[in-house]
Amino acid sequence: MDQRGLRNRWGLAFMITLLVLVVCKLAVLQGVDGAAYANAAEQDRLRTFPLDALRGAVLDRDGNPFAYTVDASKVVADPEVVADPERTALALTTLLDVPVPELTEKLSRDSRYVVLANQVPPETTDAIDALELPGVLKEPDPVRLYPAGTVGGQVIGFVGRDGEGLAGIERTFEEELAGTPGSRRVEVGSGGYPIPSGIDESTPATDGDSVTLTLDQDLQYVTEQRLAESCADGATTRASAVVLDVRSGEVVAMGSCPGYDPGNYSETDPDLLGNPLVSSVFEPGSVMKAVTLAAALEEGVAEPGTVLSVNGHIQAGDRVVTDAHDHAPVDWTVTGILAKSSNVGTIMLAREVGDEKLEQYLRAFGLGDTTGIELPGESAGILQDSEDWSGVRAANIAIGQGISVTTLQMASIYQAIANDGVRVPPRIVEAVTGPDGKVTETPEPEGTRVISSETADKMAYMLEAVVGPGGTAPLGQIEGFRVAGKTGTAQRANPDCNCYEGGGYVTTFVGFAPADDPQYVVAVDLERPTSDAEGGQVAAPVFADILRYALTADSVVPSGTARPDFVLTGTP
Amino acid sequence: MTRATARVPVGTSSRSTAPRTGSTRTTPRTTPRTTPRSTPRPELRLVPGGQTARTRRRAPRALRHPRAPFVLLVVAMLVGTTLGLLILNTAIAVGSVEATQLRADNAVRAQEVQRLEQQVVAGGTPAEIAAAAVAAGLVPAGPAAYLVIDPDGGSVLRGTPVPAEDPAASEDGD
């Protein structure tokens, strides 16, 4: 009885100890580590699918797409699972348009992940799915499409392989266009189907905003077609043009040749992948005389009818500057000086204005500073302080040499003259539209008055004389409309020697119409290293063709008044 | 005496009614207590042999209420519940599969929409329209004239209309 009692007691103690141990372990499993184990089990059943954000579109002012994104897939394979690389390659070769040896090589690699083809359209991936090839899978790989091709390409820019904007609007508005990717977490059963009562939580992706530009796709197309024609003439190596809306300063068209197709940027010469209209500078030549003369009128130095005895050449520092062709003294009015594009007359007037004042006007017209347009890589151009101007430099700057500008800056000067003397910095983005349809309009930049309204009117009159009889650019005329503008033929710096020898010319034409109620400003510049043809001959017709289309397409009513008679010469 | 007897019921009734809902609770508590106490006592007194009494009581019950129907009922309920659960589960699973399929169908439709939209966009680019216009024998329009209505009601013709070029003579694509 005693022994049995002792055994029972020990047995009981043993059982209790065991029970306590079990309970303790249970408590640890359930209470302390429980959450972690439950979590691990759940993670095993959870699948996370990324939800891609659709990149926003880039549209023209009427909503026509310049760039948009569509769904596509990347076809990938797990070579360890692929049973027969040769047969799989044969089945995929026509669908993916990849040669059999390349596919076979990829499918035989000692790897668990190979990319067979990128950006495959949905129809093709459906066909591949139907083949039920083991180890061949697809992953989302959206495609950026540029339906207009080269049209507007330099402005729009492009995205890289990872879908990030690398140039143009795609780069400036990367943050807005990209959107925010989301994800979906689902608890799945053995068949891969979601468990109906299981976890199903998703963070929806926020699609990117779309960017509406001020460009007009049709005018952009016509502009680029016309420039391409110039580039095909054998002498022009680069032709650029920009069209601005006079009142708002909006860029309606902007392009140059040679351009590029953003959808095919990888096969384009990297040197061409910029936007020369905002990033390349050149010496503008005579188109800059408008600034010098506007300064002269505004400062009260001269009037359009003021007569000057203009010689064929003038001493400037240690150099002699001549007119295009040296001539005996002529009694030209200030209008005549502009119409005939006299270097000597312009320098005479610039000296009356003074270097410091002239620099002030040049800067007020936006030179030597970026315009602030929403495009990457904008150049400020080159404008030295007037304190550093030598005698010859001062004379040269008055006639547009020794100063560098972009095509856009050049257009902006004439926008100010056409807009009654108020300069509105050019802009190219009209609005940003969120995926919810909320439109955020780009604030209109504030205009600054550069010259008085009277001076602007006088400038318009004088610039009209350039296109009129006796002017340098009768080819800039547009039937039915009064046109004002200015030619330029500047020596081009030869990049090989950093001198003017062998550099050829940059011929320019900038102007606006209708002169009595300006609507559009067009600036054209052609780089012609091997030709000495003048702006009036080669740039003015391009200007007229582009401006004619802009006016006609916008249903601008032809001028109601006749062109005034211009007094180009007189007696002092 | 009368004071004391009067106080006690007032105290108890006020305690029970105030927090809970009444005297009903006190009555059922008291009744079951009294009944079991009162019933077994006479039974124990009447029959001293406990074992025989149990067998005597059990045997007629088993005869009167056989176990089989109850077991059958339990089994039937179990089977029914299991089947019901199975059907419910299957229905939900079918729904889930259907939802997945519908989602896939939706994706196919979305693809179709995307493909068609792409066609529309590709056909609407300036270059495509220009090419289609040339193919249709169209030429760019010449300058148009405008009739401008003056505030006084008269009209002025602005511009000189020029007829478009002969399509046969024009080679220009734009």
Would the pLDDT of B42 be above 80?
A: no
**Rounded to whole angstroms, how far apart are CA atoms A518 and A549?**
15
**Rounded to whole angstroms, how far apart are CA atoms A523 and A415?**
10
Contact check, Cβ <8 Å, B143/A194 = no
Supply the pLDDT for residue B44: 54
**Rounded to whole angstroms, how far apart are CA atoms A406 and A500?**
19
Asked if residue B164 is part of any domain, the answer here is: no
Supply the pLDDT for residue A289: 95
Candidate from B127, B156, B159 with C-beta closest to A151:
B127
Asked if residue B150 is part of any domain, the answer here is: no
- What's the pLDDT tens digit per position in B67-77? 888 899 999 99
Residue-wise DSSP of A13-30? HHHHHHHHHHHHHHHIII
Instruction: Write out A342-382 in H/E/C secondary structure.
Output: CHHHHHHHHHHHCHHHHHHHHHHCCCCCCCCCCCCCCCCCE
* Among A487, A468, A529, residue whose Cα is nearest residue A285: A487
As given in the structure block, the two tokens for residue A555 are 């249903």
Asked if residue B155 is part of any domain, the answer here is: no
A252 contacts A502 by C-beta, under 8 angstroms: no
Q: Are residues B83 and B30 in the same domain?
A: no
Q: Which residues form the domain of B15? A: 1-65
Supply the pLDDT for residue B67: 80
Q: Are residues B89 and B51 in the same domain?
A: no
Q: How confident is the model at residue B24 (pLDDT cuts 50, 70, 90)?
A: very low
Asked if residue B17 is part of any domain, the answer here is: yes
Asked if residue B90 is part of any domain, the answer here is: yes
Annotation says A73 is catalytic: no
Domain boundary among B11, B36, B65: B65
Domain boundary among B18, B35, B65: B65
> Cβ contacts (< 8 Å) between A552 and chain B: which residues?
141, 143-144
Q: Are residues B77 and B110 in the same domain?
A: yes
Q: Where are the beta strands (DSSP E) in A434-539?
A: 439-441, 448-449, 484-491, 505-513, 520-528
Q: Are residues B54 and B74 in the same domain?
A: no
> Cβ contacts (< 8 Å) between A559 and chain B: which residues?
158
**Rounded to whole angstroms, how far apart are CA atoms A409 and A368?**
9
As given in the structure block, the two tokens for residue A541 are 């017709």
Chunked into runs of 10 residues, chain A (572 residues) has average pLDDT values of: 83 95 91 85 81 91 93 88 88 91 90 88 87 87 91 93 90 93 82 74 90 96 95 91 96 94 89 91 93 95 93 90 89 93 94 94 95 93 92 92 94 96 96 94 92 95 91 90 92 80 88 94 92 85 95 89 87 74
Report the complex ipTM: 0.76
Contact check, Cβ <8 Å, A70/B118 = yes
> Cβ contacts (< 8 Å) between A218 and chain B: which residues?
126
Supply the pLDDT for residue A379: 94
Contacting B with CB below 8 Å, chain A residues are 64-65, 68, 70-71, 122-123, 126, 145, 147-149, 151, 193-197, 217-218, 220-222, 225, 479-480, 548, 552, 555, 557-560
- What's the pLDDT tens digit per position in A330-359? 999 999 999 999 999 999 999 999 999 999
- Cα→Cα distances A562→A479, A481, A566, B162, Å: 12, 9, 12, 19
Residue-wise DSSP of B109-154? HHHHHHHHHHHHHHHTSHHHHHHHHHHTT--------EEEEPTTS-
A151 contacts A217 by C-beta, under 8 angstroms: yes
Q: Are residues B73 and B35 in the same domain?
A: no
As given in the structure block, the two tokens for residue A501 are 């020898």
Q: What is the CA radius of gyration of chain B?
A: 50
Would the pLDDT of B62 be above 60?
A: no
The type of residue at A251 is V
Supply the pLDDT for residue B40: 52
Q: Are residues B56 and B72 in the same domain?
A: no
Q: Are residues B50 and B18 in the same domain?
A: yes
Q: Are residues B60 and B99 in the same domain?
A: no
How many structural domains does chain B have? 2
Supply the pLDDT for residue B41: 53
Nearest CA in chain A to B96: A196
* Among A529, A318, A362, A342, residue whose Cα is nearest residue A451: A362
Candidate from A147, A196, A552 with C-beta closest to B125:
A147
> Cβ contacts (< 8 Å) between B97 and chain A: which residues?
193
Asked if residue B152 is part of any domain, the answer here is: no
Asked if residue B172 is part of any domain, the answer here is: no
Calculate how close chain B gets to A194, using CA atoms only, in Å.
Answer: 7
- Domains detected in chain A: 48-213 (3.90.1310.10), 217-553 (3.40.710.10)
Supply the pLDDT for residue A1: 54
CB-based contacts of A438, cutoff 8 Å, min separation 6: none
Would the pLDDT of B150 be above 80?
A: yes
**Rounded to whole angstroms, how far apart are CA atoms A226 and A220?**
10
Q: Are residues B8 and B59 in the same domain?
A: yes
Supply the pLDDT for residue A520: 97
> Cβ contacts (< 8 Å) between A194 and chain B: which residues?
96, 99-100
Residue A471: CB atoms within 10 A of its CB come to 27
Q: Are residues B27 and B59 in the same domain?
A: yes
Supply the pLDDT for residue A11: 93
Contact check, Cβ <8 Å, A196/B111 = no
Q: Which of A230, A240, A286, A412 is catalytic?
A: A286
What is the pTM assigned to this prediction?
A: 0.78
Supply the pLDDT for residue A537: 87
* Among A18, A51, A58, A22, residue whose Cα is nearest residue A145: A58
Q: Are residues B54 and B71 in the same domain?
A: no
**Rounded to whole angstroms, how far apart are CA atoms A74 and A124?**
11
Q: Are residues B54 and B26 in the same domain?
A: yes
A324 contacts A349 by C-beta, under 8 angstroms: no
Supply the pLDDT for residue A47: 81
**Rounded to whole angstroms, how far apart are CA atoms A127 and A120?**
11
Supply the pLDDT for residue B60: 56
Supply the pLDDT for residue A158: 94
Domain boundary among B43, B65, B87: B65
Asked if residue B103 is part of any domain, the answer here is: yes
Calculate how close chain B gets to A546, using CA atoms only, in Å.
Answer: 12
Q: How confident is the model at residue B102 (pLDDT cuts 50, 70, 90)?
A: very high
Longest CA span, chain A: 152
- What's the pLDDT tens digit per position in A95-126? 999 999 999 999 988 888 889 998 888 888 88
